[in-house]
Amino acid sequence: MADCLFCRIVAGEIPSATVHETNRVLVFRDIAPKAPTHLLAIPKDHHVTVAELAAADPGLAGELLEAAGRAAESEGLDGGYRLIVNTGDDSGWEVRHVHVHVLGGEPLGPLLAR
What size, in residues, is the chain?
114
47 contacts: CB under 8 Å, gap ≥ 6: 53, 56, 57, 60, 97, 98
Strand ranges inside the chain, DSSP E: 18-21, 25-29, 37-43, 81-84, 100-104
99 a catalytic residue: yes
CA distance from start to end of the chain = 35
- Distances 110 to 38, 83, 114 between C-alpha atoms, Å: 17, 13, 10
Active-site entry in 20, 47, 97, 99: 99
Residues forming the active site: 99
